[in-house]
A and B are shown apart, each in its own frame.
Chain A
Amino acid sequence: MAIIVTSNLSKKFKDLLAVDNVSLEVEEGECFGLLGPNGAGKTSLIRMITAVSPPLSGDIGVAGIDLRSHPRQVKAMLGIVPQIDNLDEDLTVLQNLTTFARYFGIPKAVAHTRGCELLRLLRLEEKSSGRIKELSGGMRRLLLIARGLVNQPRIAILDEPTVGLDPQTRHLVWQQLTELKAQGVTQLLCTQNMEEAAVLCDRVAVMHRGRILSLDSPQALIARHVGETVLEVAVTSANRERVVRELTTHGIDFLDVGNTVKVLGVNREQLPATLLGTAEELRLRPATLEDVFFRLTGKTLEGEEEE
């Protein structure tokens, strides 16, 4: 059953169409990823789904409830981890959780127990009575995640939850999110990190300039758009043109990423012999969502270059 349904959802900021006619369905219990670079419209889209930003047009239903007419009921079901850090710096670490729980009408004793439990899970218990200013950037992000879970949401909406985290902390977060999914919590996860999307998400929507370009499981996206493997050919400005020409004449599919040419759907042996000699370096690796994104947009996930 679809638990989040958006139909023809659009959002405009002045002349900029940040979200362009997006219709998607998130199934109950799945982890649904929105993958796209900075400015793709991910945050704008989920701000509408979390009822804090009115759409230009379109409808949103969450668990069968119309968001426009019942925003309070919808918000009560959601656990939100925003992209911007808006922790309450006037309160202590634990108070951030208990005060937030109070906004959801959770009784004080329950809020306290849950708050302590979440701090323990996210390894923040030592900071419990500390001030927000004493936390490192990574700890602040962990606390934001804890805060998003304090109401035991049916749906967790996470906007780039691991951005700026060191690898170890990122894995801690991934582990918690995997556990959350095992408990049946639906997740809507925005990310620019293709590894994160591949590791956590059952289905991924590739988003670019306000639009969903393709939507499927990570493996299916990769199979459909790039194939299983990618043979990376390092090229120089001197031989690049020739490599590209060779591939084209042999009818071999490739992506031209500047200083590398990503050859798709062939292994080393199938590469034209003439090319093997010219290429300075060859590397065969499994295809990733990054390749999918490049195929779909001609751009890398690191972001839009200025136009």
Chain B
Amino acid sequence: MFSWRFLRMWQRNRDVFLRLWHSEAPGTVIEPIIVLVAMGLGLGAYVGLVDGQDYIEFIVPGIICSYAMFSVFGECTYGTFFRMEERKTFDAIIATPLSVEDVIAGEIFWGATRSLMTGSAILLVALAFQQVDSWWTVLVPFLSLYHGVMFSSIAIFFTSLAPSFYTFNHVFTLFVTPMFFLSGVFFPLTEFPQLVQNLSWIAPLTPVVHLTRALFEGEFHFIHVVAAGYILLVTIFFFWLSLVLMRRRLTV
């Protein structure tokens, strides 16, 4: 297992981010704003009310958590792979007192930090579009951090198996993007047949969208406890698996 030294890897990524953020970070916020404007206001004018809300109000929670997820996947697939294979940065670091597990845990918690930053930034932007109905909304950044750990772990799992950068094109087309469209971000899952609805709950973005929406609405049900627990289980499983697979990959 990893030790507190994961913090050293996290600090390294933070330092690099602080040096280069102005070239990278704006992109992760501009796209969701465009989506909010185009879908929320443009499409929303045709859609009218969803679940008794303006369309833009309906999609804001989903946009926040999906773009947090996108930034995690960018960081922990392409970014991690680049550091690992192109730059051989991990090889250098595992020759210090940090272990492979420390390095990978550092990457995962850094990915989660990116999720926190992206989630919070879009939240601030979204607040300009709509009224906040519930004080629970202040917990959205914490939730971003929480599911950020899960998505980072899943992303690193893919990275640990990836033979090349091309692999990630498939990860995005077959996993990340379908989740974005089928996890209840743009329309309630109840539009689907029951079978598809149940299947949709396998995708880890679905519980995340439901929880985020619950924070915006300030209404909680038993399903949200299940969602939080499900996220925890998926996180533990993929966190552990990523550490094991990365040790195998990096210590040859």
Interface residues of A (CB under 8 A from B): 13, 50-54, 71-72, 75-76, 78, 80, 82, 84, 86-91, 95, 99-100, 102-105, 151
Interface pair A100/B15, CB less than 8 Å apart:
no
In the assembled complex, the Cα of A89 lies from the Cα of B172 at a distance in Å of: 27
A54-B251, A102-B8, A102-B11 known; A90+B98 contact, CB < 8 A:
no
Instruction: Scan residues 55-108 of chain B and give those whose CB is less than 8 A from a CB of chain A.
Output: 87-89, 91-99
Contact in complex: B87, A86 (CB < 8 Å): yes
Chain B interface residues toward A at CB < 8 A: 5, 8, 11-12, 15-16, 19-20, 87-89, 91-99, 250-252
Q: Which residue of B lies closest to A73 (CB)?
A: B97
Sample 9 A-B pairs with CB under 8 A, ordered by A number: A53-B252, A82-B95, A86-B88, A90-B89, A91-B19, A99-B11, A99-B12, A100-B92, A105-B97
Q: Which single member of B89, B95, B97, B98 contacts A88 (CB below 8 Å)?
A: B89
Are B92 and A75 interface neighbours, CB within 8 A? no
Which of B8, B16, B87, B96 has its CB near the most chain A CB atoms (within 10 A)? Answer: B96
Could you tell me the distance in whole angstroms from the C-beta of A103 to the nearest C-beta in chain B?
Answer: 4
Contact present for B91 and A52 (CB under 8 Å): yes
**A105 to B5 Cα, complex, angstroms:** 9
What residues on A are CB-neighbors of B8 within 8 Å?
102-103
Docked pose: A102 CA to B5 CA in angstroms: 10
Cα–Cα distance between A99 and B252 once the two chains are bound (Å): 25
Task: Decide: B88 and A53 in contact? CB cutoff 8 A.
Answer: no
Besides the contacts A76-B96, A90-B89, what 10 more A-B pairs have beta carbons closer than 8 Å? A53-B251, A54-B251, A88-B89, A90-B16, A91-B15, A99-B12, A100-B92, A100-B96, A102-B8, A103-B97
Most buried by A among B91, B97, B98, B252: B97
- Chain A neighbourhood of B250, CB < 8 A: 52
Report how far A91 CA is from B11 CA in the complex, Å. 12
The answer to whether A72 and B251 touch across the interface, beta carbons within 8 angstroms, is no
The CA of A151 and the CA of B97, in the complex, are separated in Å by: 11
- The distance from the CB of B23 to the nearest CB of chain A, in whole angstroms, is 12
Given that A72-B99, A90-B20, A91-B15 are contacting pairs, would A52 and B87 also be in contact in the complex, using a CB cutoff of 8 Å? Answer: no
Complex-state Cα separation, A125 to B200, whole angstroms: 58
A84: chain B residues within 8 A (beta carbon):
88, 91
Contacts of B91 in A (CB 8 A): 52, 82, 84, 86
CB contact under 8 A between A99 and B15, given known A53-B251, A53-B252, A78-B95: yes
A52 and B95 within 8 A (CB): yes
Q: Are the C-beta atoms of B96 and A103 separated by less than 8 Å?
A: yes
Chain A contacts for B99, CB-based, 8 A: 71-72
Cβ contact within 8 Å between A104 and B96: yes
A104 to B20, CA, bound (A): 25
Q: Flag if B15 contacts A86 (CB, 8 Å).
A: no
Chain A residues, CB < 8 A from B93: 103
Across the interface, which residues of A come within 8 angstroms of B5, CB to CB? 103
CB distance from B171 to the nearest CB of A (A): 23
Bound form: Cα–Cα A75–B250 in Å: 16
Contact residues in B for A90 (Cβ distance below 8 Å) = 16, 19-20, 87, 89
Q: Chain B residues near A50 (CB, 8 Å)?
A: 95
How distant is B244 from chain A, measured CB to nearest CB, in Å?
14
Q: Are B97 and A86 in contact (CB under 8 A)?
A: no
A71 and B224 CA atoms in complex are apart in Å by: 43
The residues of A that contact B98 with a CB separation of less than 8 Å are 103
Residues of B within 8 A of A91 (CB): 12, 15-16, 19
In the complex, chain A residues whose CB is within 8 Å of the CB of B94: 52
Contacting residue for B95 out of A80, A89, A95, CB 8 A: A80
The complex places the Cα of A53 from the Cα of B247 at a distance, in Å, of: 10
Residues of A within 8 A of B15 (CB): 91, 95, 99
- Shortest C-beta distance, B12 to chain A (Å), equals 6
A84 to B92, CA, bound (A): 10
**Which A residues are in CB contact (< 8 Å) with B96?**
75-76, 100, 103-104, 151
Least Cβ–Cβ distance between B144 and chain A, in angstroms: 24
In the complex formed, the residue of B with least CB distance to A85 is B88
- Nearest A residue to B90 via CB reads A86
- Interfacial chain B residues near A87, Cβ < 8 Å: 92
